[in-house]
Chains A and B, each alone.
Chain A
Amino acid sequence: MKAPRFAYARPASIAEALALLQEHGDDARVLAGGQSLVPMMNFRVAAPKVLVDINRIESLAGIKVTKSFVRIGALTRQVELERSANVAKHLPLVAAAMPHIAHPAIRNRGTFGGSCALGDPAAELPACALALGATFVVAGKKGERRVAAEDFFKGLYATALKPGELLVAAEFPPPKPGDTSAFGELARRHGDYAMVGVAAHRSRKSVRAAFFGVGDRPELLEGDTVEGVLSKVSDLDPRADLHASAAMKLHLAKVLAGRVLGELAA
């Protein structure tokens, strides 16, 4: 259970990273926090020939608050999200999700962008991005492009990122007074991936609930009211996995939705 052989590169800038990714194409993978990629390599599920380590690219890290958005750099560690006063104030949904993500030693390395770029369907941060209507900033050969969270998660470990592209950041719309959010997940042990989870946000316009662990990607249910969203939960079509049958997952999704969406009304 050791990672297979690979060649290691440590670019100092986004431009250098993009050049490496373009040069090595499908042979290369981006190494961010490594908390999912390295286990996958140790299991030999992934065997990239080249690892492009972006950990020393400072411009990829950090949380920035402006009038038009809250921007989270792709390399921002999960522990920074957990401790950030700006996240607690402006993105309370993300703050509420943090304690559910694995364990302290994992959150010290794991990154926001790594979690989103991997696209694990049971992960917390993609669901938060979806519920909050975030926009992903992607760098490529031709410059930057922006992808709405609704269009970013394409399937099991599949995202809108194309070969040679790098996720740079996500921009979250600033919260409005009166917006509320709530987060919950069910797991057998603290820190495990969710059997079922939901990240929910209510604004004056709508209620958005992103369910995770119930399909091949986070699933967004949207409605005008909490009741409207709750009535759609039975449309979810979870697949059975090692932990639960499809029927049990749907049952858990309904129970959890009732609890979490119930908190939005307050």
Chain B
Amino acid sequence: MNAPLETVEIEVTVNGERVKRSVPARLNLADFFRTELELTGTHVGCEHGVCGACTVRVDGEIVRGCLMFAVQADGCKVDTVEGLSDSREIEELQSAFVLTNALQCGFCTPGVLMAAQALLRDETNPSRERIREYLSGNYCRCTGYQAIVDAIEAVAKARAARSTR
């Protein structure tokens, strides 16, 4: 692809399923999920990379869905909170969030779950301080974060206990 185009054909593997679409170059990845694929679990908050509500996974790494154009994901494997939920990858986190009341309005929750799962995948027993640091890019305006950290810590401890048994 070399001549600049305003509309581009893309092929993306979304939650394991291959999709083909023709998209405007200016369409960001979060809006692509929401408007083109009706995957509305990815939320759009600040639209300038600060709040973290649009966090998704591209080729296994979390990114801001609002700071990447859909056309840039052409040929990539992309996962949203729906995919992680359906595959049960975040089942424990979801249960822990319910148990500790780690969400109220729920707007930030999909992004927080994506970030938390990325942390727990890479680090087996993060401290509370490390959890807070890692989640510093995900804003929650309801909970004051305490319960969110509680939930993630509980899952981390449960997973660590299982792996040493």
Using a CB–CB distance below 8 Å, which chain A residues touch chain B? Answer: 1-12, 16, 20, 24, 31, 34-35, 38-39, 42-43, 50-53, 55, 79, 99, 102-106, 108-109, 189-191
User: B83 in the interface, Cβ–Cβ < 8 Å?
Assistant: no
A104–B71 alpha-carbon span in the complex (Å): 22
CB of B24 closer than 8 Å to a CB of A? yes
Could you tell me if B47 and A9 are in contact, using CB atoms closer than 8 angstroms? Answer: no
Docked Cα-Cα span, A102 to B138, in Å, equals 11
B91 interface hit (Cβ, 8 Å): no
- Knowing A42-B47, A105-B52, A109-B68, the reply to whether A4 touches B26 (Cβ < 8 A) is yes
* Interface of B (DSSP majority class): mixed
CB distance from B57 to the nearest CB of A (A): 9
Are A104 and B48 neighbours in the complex by a CB distance under 8 Å?
no
Judge whether A104 and B134 touch: CB under 8 Å: yes
Interface flag for B115 (CB, 8 Å): yes
Interface CB pairs A-B, < 8 A, 9: A3-B69, A11-B2, A38-B48, A39-B48, A42-B47, A51-B4, A51-B25, A103-B52, A108-B63
Name B24's contact: one of A5, A42, A104, A106 (CB within 8 Å). A5
Q: In the bound complex, do residue B136 and residue A191 qualify as a contact, i.e. CB atoms below 8 Å apart?
A: yes
- 7 extra interchain contacts, Cβ-Cβ under 8 A, other than A2-B26, A38-B48? A7-B6, A9-B1, A39-B49, A42-B48, A104-B119, A105-B62, A109-B63
Point out the residues of chain B lying under 8 angstroms from A99, CB to CB. 133
Q: In the assembled complex, which residues on chain B have CB atoms less than 8 Å from the CB atom of A5?
A: 6, 24-26
B115–A104 CB distance below 8 A: yes
Contact of B68 among A4, A20, A38 (CB under 8 A): A38
Across the interface, A34 reaches (CB within 8 A) one of B26, B52, B67, namely: B67
Residues of chain B lying within 8 A (CB to CB) of residue A191: 136-137
1/0 per residue, CB under 8 A from A, across B126-138: the answer is 0000001110111
Residue ID in chain A nearest B1 by CB atoms: A10
Say yes or no for B3: interface residue by CB 8 A criterion.
yes
Residues of B within 8 A of A55 (CB): 72
CB within 8 Å of A: which residues of B? 1-6, 8, 24-26, 28, 31, 46-49, 52, 55, 61-64, 66-69, 71-72, 115, 118-119, 132-134, 136-138
The 4 closest A-B pairs by CB, nearest first: A103-B137, A7-B4, A8-B25, A39-B48
Q: How far is the CA of A35 from the CA of B28 in the complex (A)?
A: 13
Closest chain A residue, CB of each to CB of B56: A105
- Of listed B4, B71, B115, B137, residue having the most chain A CB within 10 A: B4
Q: Name A99's closest neighbour in chain B (CB-CB).
A: B133
Hey, which chain B residues are within 8 Å of A106, CB to CB? 49, 64, 67, 137
Residues of B within 8 A of A9 (CB): 1-5
Q: A3-B28, A191-B136 are in contact. Are A109 and B4 (CB under 8 A)?
A: no
Complex: how many Å from CA A190 to CA B133?
Answer: 7
Within 8 Å by CB of B71, from A4, A8, A52, lies: A8
CB-defined contacts of A52 to chain B, threshold 8 Å: 4
Inter-chain contact A190/B62, CB cutoff 8 Å = no
A105 contacts which of B1, B63, B133 (Cβ < 8 Å)? Answer: B63
**Chain A CB within 10 Å — which of B1, B6, B64 has the most?**
B64
Please determine whether B6 and A35 come into contact, CB atoms closer than 8 angstroms: no
* Residues of A close to B61: CB separation below 8 A: 79, 108
Verify B48–A50 contact, CB threshold 8 A.
no
Q: Give every chain A residue within 8 A of B119 (Cβ-Cβ).
A: 104
Name the distance in Å between B115's Cβ and chain A's nearest Cβ: 7
Bound CA–CA A54/B133 (angstroms): 30
Tell whether, in the assembled complex, residue B55 and residue A105 are in contact, meaning their CB atoms are under 8 Å apart.
Answer: yes
Closest residue of chain B to A79 (Cβ to Cβ) is: B61
A39→B62 contact, CB < 8 A: no
Closest to B50 in A: A39
Closest to A5 in B: B26
